[in-house]
Chain A
Amino acid sequence: MISCSGRKVLLGEQIKHETSALTEAFAPDLPLAGFTSFGEIAPLRRADGYTRNLFHNMTYVLLVIERGTREHALSESMIGEPPAGFVGGRRQARVALRDRGLLAADCESAYALLPDFRTRVEGVVLTFGSPAAARVGPLLWHISLSREALLQGGEFLTVALEAIGLASVADDQARHAKHAEERLLRSDHEVRRRDYLRVTEALQNQVGLVTASERKLSAILESVDARIYLLDRRGATFSPTARRVPCGNLKWKTSPVLAMR
């Protein structure tokens, strides 16, 4: 599905309807993906097929393909089970960022795998040595253990990696929240201010025009009031300013009622 960004602006918190309308109609686990667009391309349906391909705005385009079995849904946390061992691989960046264990001769060689190793790798760098722990990145710790402690460190690693996994999820959520806040803060504040001024100016102009019209009308009425004559039911003319009469006696037809001399 492709949905215009204009719809996204208007829908606001209701944006989930863009997908829920489909999952409610078809199936809760309908495999579905799409993006926010600035223009949509699709033919329109007609009785005998489709029209020519058209470019649209503010539109929602849906392509339905014969449904298959949905096998798996959401991606899982990147931090899986604790390392069962050390793993090598032909893609070293992948090993460093994703796989569960990395054997490195020293920390510097591990850091050399990625230019931004310290900020992107999440986990624990384990070395032999005197017991010590240091945080070397947002979610990366360098822990030094004695050989004996390390051999017994399976449970420790499990707990540490689970904690880091949770911290990673929390970190992602915090980034999203910050992004949403930034978006909210910058979202059209200035544009709305200008629109407010524009509407205010338009309203002031309208008020000015109405006021001017009212003044002009008053002036006209003042000048012609004495010259307006009404017809009574018998067709006789009289001036309302000269003699007050009950309204019921007047003949309320447009053209003959008001006669201006």
Chain B
Amino acid sequence: MRAISSSTIITDPYRAGIALGESLATMSPEVVFLFSSIDYSVPELLEGLHDALDHDDVIVVGNSSNGFYETTVSSDRGAAVLGLNSDGQVRWRLAHAERLNENLHDKVEELMAMLSVDGETPCLGYLVSDFRVDASRIEAALRESVSFPVVGGLADDYSMQSSYIYVNREVFSDALVVLAAYGDLRFSIRVGNSLQAIGRSGRIDAIEGTQLHRVDGLNAKDFIERETGRTVLQTDRGTLSLLVHDAEVSEEKCLRSIIPDLLDTEDHLVCLAAFPEAIRCKCVWPGRRIWWLRFTPLPKRQALVERARRPRW
């Protein structure tokens, strides 16, 4: 697998696209991941990228969001690309669904079925969507209808309104796109957050969609106040999260952040996505060194980068 990444802060969208495309042109990428800030006129960014790549078969997948990362760059504005070329060892297939608010579950199932045609299941999926539906609905659909690892995220612009999804030359909103990989792809997935769980675990008594009402017999705000010793603040946006876990499936844990802008409405808390009732949650708090994520490459024999294999669910 050959890879090239590059980034630009050129403000003109077409020029930015050209610059990114030219940086990848030498490798003739099979797939290009494109990440841009939300202030670009995205059709022109894509047009510039494709014009510079000058290769109709290239697959472009990506999104606009509140910022991007590249090898040495973390920026609020600009764009980055990552081009991959497996020299034909990996086959790629792209599928997307729009208007997710209508029959999301069915659409995700159909999309995944499209990616598993001819009896071949992808070894890995990359999924990206803009944040216009409750993400837990996407998660639920993935859990039920997907039998391969999927990595990705939901694009963010803080207002959840102006991020877009890139699919080749097109731009979509309220959409979900999956890039599926087949063949000899060696990969490894890591998930981390370096947050500390504090306090006691509480049973979730009442939740309605993304609205968390009661935990451990208390309203959600009081539960957090009891366990953290402080009142919930609006500036806890992204800081205050709940570790959601199910005692019966101990390996599966995830965090749900609180949306603070809506805190003043009622006693309940609004989370960024729903989660099932009858499981438990625990407050998490950033330590003094939230950034203290460490990555240690293992020797090849220990297969940090391992051959894709079908996971056991």
Contacts and interface: CB of A to CB of B under 8 A. Distances in A.
B80 interface: yes
B99 interface: no
Contacts of B297: 25-26
Interface stretch (A194-202, A223-231, A236-244): A194-202
A220 interface: no
A179 B10 CA distance: 13
Contacts of B18: 78, 94, 97-98
Contact of A46 (B77, B186, B251): B251
Given A35-B68, A36-B66, A55 B187 contact: no
Interface string B276-308: 000000001010001101111100000011000
A158 to B, nearest CB: 20
Given A31-B5, A43-B149, A55-B273, A73 B10 contact: no
Contacts of A7: 193, 238, 290-291
Interface stretch (B134-142, B167-175, B199-207): B134-142
A32 B71 CA distance: 5
Interface string B141-173: 011001001111111101010000000000000
Chain B binding surface SS class: mixed
Contacts of A36: 65-69, 156
Contacts, number: 351
B35 A91 contact: no
Contacts of B195: 58
A71 B2 contact: yes
Contacts of A78: 10, 12, 15, 18-19
B191 to A, nearest CB: 5
Nearest to A20: B72
Contact of A10 (B15, B80, B192, B239): B239
Interface residues of B, number: 113
Interface in A12-68: 14-23, 25-26, 28-46, 48-68
Given A1-B69, A25-B297, A199-B233, A172 B139 contact: no
B192 A59 contact: yes
Contact of A75 (B20, B51, B185): B20
A74 interface: yes
B156 A38 contact: yes
Interface string A105-135: 0000000000000001000000000000000
Contacts of B295: 21-22, 25-26, 62
B108 to A, nearest CB: 11
Interface of B: 1-12, 14-15, 18-20, 22-23, 26-27, 33, 35, 39, 47-48, 51, 62-63, 65-78, 80-82, 84-85, 124, 126-127, 131, 135-136, 138-139, 142-143, 146, 149-156, 158, 160, 185-193, 195, 231, 233-235, 237-239, 241, 251-257, 260, 272-273, 284, 286, 290-291, 293-297, 304-305, 309-313
9 contacts: A33-B69, A34-B68, A53-B146, A62-B191, A64-B187, A68-B3, A70-B3, A71-B26, A176-B76
